[in-house]
Structure formats: C-alpha cells, structure tokens
Amino acid sequence: MPVTKVLTAGIGEVDLRNIEVYRSRGGYAQWERAVKTLSPADVLKTAQDSGLRGRGGAGFPTGRKWQFLPANGKPRYLVCNCDEAEPGTFKDHMLLEEAPHLVLEGILLGAYGIGAHHAFIYIRGEFKRGYQIFCEALQAARQAGYLGANVFGSGYDLEVTVHRGAGAYICGEETGLLNSLEGKRGEPRLKPPFPAVEGLYGCPTVVNNVETLAYLVPIMEKGAAWFAAVGSEQSKGYKIVSISGHVRNPGNYEVAMGTPVAELIEIAGGLRPGRKLAAVQPGGGSSACIFDEHLDWGYDYESMTKAGSMLGSGAVVVFDDTTDFVAAAYNLVRFYSHESCGQCTPCREGGHWLERVLERFVAGRGVRGDLEMMHRISSNITGLNLCPLGDSIEPFLKSVLDRFPAQFEARIARETVPA
C-alpha cells in the first residue's frame, strides 16, 4: 500500500494558503453544500457512518463524540485542538501552515454538524508562524462570506476565534485546553462531567483534533462509504503518520489505516546503511515500543493495542541499534516530569523521582535495586491521575526496560546508595 494523498494532496506543490488556489481545487464547496442543502444531522450522520476516529491520540469515534451533546438549550461550542506537542508528532503543524483553508473548512463543517455558532481553534503557542498563516486564511474566508452572520444567506451564523496557547503540553488534554481557553491555568478537570455536557463556559462542547476535522472535508465530498471502505475493522480511512528518528527520509506520510509497520519504515526511506532496527515507538511519546516481531502488523488502532502499545497521534519514531535506550527513557520521563501540571501527586512526584533515578543511570551511577524501584514507582503512577499524562510515563520506560535490560544493568555502578 503506497502513500495516498488526501489531506496532503497539493502540499509542497501548490500554494494552498491562497484561498483562490484552494477554491480552484474544490475548496469550500463542501461547506457551501452543507450549509445550503444539508442539515446538521446529515453532517453528523456522514461523520458517524465514515467510522472516523479522533486523530489526536485517544481515537474516540468522532460521530459518537458529537452525539453526546445534550439538547439543553445552552450554546454549543466546537474547539479545534491544534496544541500539537506529543513528542514525535508534527502533522498538525504541517496542516496548519500548509493547508490552513482545509483546516478551517473542517472546523466549519464540524461546527455545523453539532449546531455550534462559535468555534475556536487553540493553536500551540510555539506555532507563531502557523498562527499568522491561519489568521490570514480566516480573514480571507471571512471576506469571501464563508463565516460570520447569515452564511450564504442560509440564516446560519458562525464565528471562529483563533486562540494561542503559551507553552504547556498539558493543554493538549481536552479539559486542560478548555481551562486554558477560559483564561485559567491549563490544569485538566475532573471527569465527569465530560466536555460534551459541561465544556467551555459550562456549555456542551466538542474538542476535535486538527486532522480529524480536516478529514471531514474529503468525507463530505466523497461520501462516508469511500472512507469506511479503506482500513481495517475498527480503523477506517487514512492517517497522516509522522515518521522520524533513525530513518533516511523523515516526514509526514499519509497512508491507509492498516499499512504494515515495516512498510511505513520503507516509505520513510528505510534505515541508514549498515544499521539494524532496535525498536519502533508507534504512537508518540506516550506509547510503548514495539519490536521486530510486530513489523508485519498493520498500523491501526486495534493492532497497535494488541501489540501492547497504541496508535496515539500517529507519531512513529524509529530507533536503530545505535540507540542508547537509557538516555531515550530519561529524555521522555524528563519530558513528562517537566510537563506535569502538578495537580495529582502520583504524576507530579512519581515523574520527578523517576527522572532523578534515570539521571543517575545516564551518568553511569545506577544502584542495584533501581530497576526494580523504577518498575515500582511507575506502577504507582499509572491509572491514578485525573488525566492521561501520568499514565504516559510508564509505557516507553517499561517497554525498553523489559527489552534492553542489559543497557540499564551496564550503568549500575554501586550495590547500595552510600550512606
């Protein structure tokens, strides 16, 4: 199965930031059609029938997420999550900068599908360039009459607000994002209530990833059946996979769900000459590694889960046999320790102490018993926090501890901690 360009079509070939170029390729036609001829329920049904699942990490079925919104007379909000910060993921960054109108059309369709009159896009603070590009696209679309009051004379009002984050990984978690959007510290909320019931300003809210919303455009154009025909049993359609690490041509590649992992590595140019594969992290920094024995498995939600990992945000990091997995584990644990918001003790303290222990290993001063202690600390973090950040610390560490114990043991220098 080769690369299939759906969302990535035209990127790197034409200037999709230009609204005329985007329009000449059929851009905004689905939005116009939806507003003029379809009801929100039609859009929702199409999203649901397509089998589209959230592309931000959790993989929740998009249509079902929309259905949870109660009809309680309160305003509804759609929030596009462009706070991409999962280590190894760089697809939303590309879509935002290279195809801003596609992202916007997806937001418009999503907002219409849930009956929202105000949509937001939360853009990671570091994406300053992307923010400017998107603001310009939004301005052009507004001038063209694609949003605002009474869109296409249909009587439907829709406003879109661009909101910049300011450097906090945790704001990618949807309730942390909503708090941040409300002008608060980006600390995740206790759930339930879920955002569908009490989200932004206490109103029913859907938070969808950039890529998820963008896929609504081709799905509306080609039909739910077109999308659902591709992929595996539980993973329909296409996915942009961000491939990086020890490959020759790292980049974003759009493939059908279920493409074998080995093929993904080949698509990215394969390993460097003379190197052998050691491990693949298939779903961003939060996911456990998979190994040689999983290479012919399909890259889809269910297979990656079965392999003991997850598809996550679709960030594939490839490690060859030169990798220092002690340093790699330290790098990721330090990341989560740094990004913990500090609300929950297991995550705040556990992450910090794991980081300290691993720091010792990186310096070659590990203590006998540390390996067992790291297992114990991590098992006391997972599942005990308000949000999934804490649960993200253990998988990579555990998978490489189990697979490459020799690398860790080689750094044990002492039998006990000196008194």
Partner 1 sequence: MSDHATGNDLLRPECERIIAQYEEKRSALLPLAHLFQEHEGYVSREALRVIAQMLELTPAVVESTVSFYSLFFRKPVGKYVLQVCRGLSCSINGAPEIMAYLRRKLGIGSLETTEDGLFSYEEVECLAACDRATCMQVNLEFVYSLTPQMIDEMLAAMRAGTYPVAPMARTDSPPRTWKIEPQAQVATGRRTAGATDVPSADDPGGVGDRSGVIMLDRFVDKTAAFRDRTSERLARDPAAVLHVLEEEDAGH
Q: Which two tokens stand for residue 111?
A: 């907002």
Radius of gyration of the chain (CA): 22
Kindly identify the residues of this chain, within the stretch 112-151, that bind partner 1 according to CB under 8 A. Answer: 118, 124-129
Residue 414 beta carbon to partner 1: minimum distance, rounded to whole angstroms: 25
DSSP 167: S
Give the neighbor-by-neighbor strand order of the sheet with 277-281. Answer: 251-256, 238-245, 315-320, 277-281
Q: Please tell me whether residue 93 binds partner 1 under the rule CB under 8 A.
A: yes
Q: Are the C-beta atoms of 391 and 382 separated by less than 8 Å?
A: yes
Residue type, 220: M
Q: Which stretch binds partner 1 (CB under 8 A): 19-27, 31-39, 178-186, 359-367?
A: 178-186
Cα(201)–Cα(264) distance, integer angstroms: 42
Sign of dihedral through CA atoms 220, 226, 229, 235? negative
From candidates 66, 112, 156, 335, binder to partner 1 by CB under 8 A: 335
With CB under 8 A, what is the number of residues at the site for partner 1?
Answer: 55
Q: Are the C-beta atoms of 400 and 387 separated by less than 8 Å?
A: no
Kindly identify the residues of this chain, within the stretch 246-305, that bind partner 1 according to CB under 8 A. Answer: 246, 250-252, 285
Residue 361 beta carbon to partner 1: minimum distance, rounded to whole angstroms: 16
Distance of CA 154 to the CA centre of its chain: 34
208 vs 252, beta carbon nearer partner 1:
252
Q: Which stretch binds partner 1 (CB under 8 A): 40-48, 85-93, 145-153, 355-363?
A: 85-93
Q: Please tell me whether residue 7 binds partner 1 under the rule CB under 8 A.
A: no
Kindly identify the residues of this chain, within the stretch 61-80, that bind partner 1 according to CB under 8 A. Answer: 75
Q: Are the C-beta atoms of 337 and 347 separated by less than 8 Å?
A: no
Strand (E) or helix (H) holding 96: helix 91-98
105 vs 187, beta carbon nearer partner 1:
187
DSSP 231: B
Kindly identify the residues of this chain, within the stretch 304-333, that bind partner 1 according to CB under 8 A. Answer: 315, 317, 319, 323, 327-328, 331-332
Site residues (vs partner 1, CB under 8 A): 75, 84-90, 92-93, 118, 124-129, 161, 163-169, 180-187, 201, 242-246, 250-252, 285, 315, 317, 319, 323, 327-328, 331-332, 335, 338-339, 341
